[in-house]
Amino acid sequence: MGPDALDTQGWQVPGDGPDFLHELIEMLKSKHPINGRRVYLFGHSAGAIQALQMSLLEPEYFAAVAVHAGALPSAAYPLMERANRKIPIAIFVGTNDQYFPLPIVRATRDALNSRTAWSGSPRLVAEQAGNSAPAPPLCCNIVKRG
């Protein structure tokens, strides 16, 4: 399922989640044989920011999160302390991404890694040469494998 944000300018909290994602997941589970313990969240660009925020606000709904071309805004770092469950997070980014420069992406990783409550939960930043388009096959395979 690949929903779009309600606002074409980008994803917003609370309008696009966490209630929206909870309702979407529950609706899909009621219509399809979905193992609730194997639901993964993927986001690209603005969707990556939203996916990272949702991984902190609603970690009980996701087994893991993978994002491409995105980072957590530093203003959202306090959400890390609210997460009641720590899940694996993979961030994929191009080395020359004009919207998400490596220092900002690495800062997201470092902020997650610096939280002792997050110890033991893998966080990964995979850097690909060039810009961030298109999403690398490894990123897509992580989401497909589940």
In a domain, 2, yes or no: no
Q: Mind listing the pLDDT tens digit for each residue in 73-116?
A: 999 999 988 888 888 898 999 899 999 999 999 999 989 888 75
CB of 32 closer than 8 Å to CB of 95 = no
In a domain, 1, yes or no: no
In a domain, 79, yes or no: yes
In a domain, 131, yes or no: yes
Give pTM, 2 decimals.
0.83
In a domain, 13, yes or no: no
In a domain, 109, yes or no: yes
- Find the CATH number of the domain harbouring 36: 3.40.50.1820
Report d(CA 12, CA 62) in Å as an integer.
Answer: 19
Number of domains present in the structure of the chain: 1
In a domain, 11, yes or no: no
In a domain, 124, yes or no: yes
Q: Mind listing the pLDDT tens digit for each residue in 122-142?
A: 677 788 888 766 555 555 444
